[in-house]
Amino acid sequence: MAYSIAVLVSGEGTNLQALIDQFADSSSIEICCVAANNSEAKALSRANEASIPTESFELGNYADRESRDVALADWISTHDVDLVVLAGYMQLLTPGFIDRFPRSIINIHPSLLPAFPGVDAIGQAIEYGVKVFGVTVHYVDHGIDTGEIIDQVSFTPSDPNDAVSIRAKASKVEHELLPSVVSKLAAA
């Protein structure tokens, strides 16, 4: 049976696209479902185009974050997943959600964690004046980008203040690193 991944998204979905492109013809890894916190996310159209089941779970439709995350976890569970991948999912998951998928949720973050957790990691890094940038894939725990690191890739831009080219390079690195980590976890 194929190793089955659920992908959570919020926006553009370029990391989702990298996963779709990598595993489209795979018989061993399957993207079984894609969920968003935002029904307008472009990532949902990418999933639809690839005939992957989608659903959106907008906070405004639920009493609170906890009940939204229960609905999200219930929906994911109907797909019998081995791994939940946060690919640009921009909301914090509640402890109840995280505890439903022990050591089975991973996130991609555009910094060399533990440096620069949270939002706008690249902006934070430029502001700090770092010369070496990078991307991390880590397990999700109850903190913000604090879970065990699975893999990291660093890069040294020619201009450490050029936000546009640093963001472009980080995206390129993400699109290789995330599918590669998923493949390794599936094979483990």
Q: What does the binding site for ligand GRF look like in residue numbers (CB under 6 A)?
A: 11-15, 43, 87-88, 108-110, 174
Q: Of 50, 58, 62, which Cα lies nearest the Cα of 13?
A: 50
At closest approach, how far in Å is the CB of 1 from ligand GRF? 27
Beta strands in 37-122 (DSSP E): 54-56, 83-86, 105-109
Cβ closer to ligand GRF: 88 or 147?
88
Cβ closer to ligand GRF: 74 or 114?
114
Is 109 among the catalytic positions? yes
Cβ closer to ligand GRF: 69 or 174?
174
Rounded CA gap, 183 and 178, in Å?
Answer: 9
At closest approach, how far in Å is the CB of 87 from ligand GRF? 5
* Structure token pair of residue 66: 């906890």
Residue nearest to ligand GRF (CB): 88
Residue carrying structure tokens 């109840």: 96
Determine what percent of the chain falls in helix, strand and coil, rounding each to the nearest 5.
40, 20, 40
At closest approach, how far in Å is the CB of 4 from ligand GRF? 20
**Active site (catalytic) residues:** 109
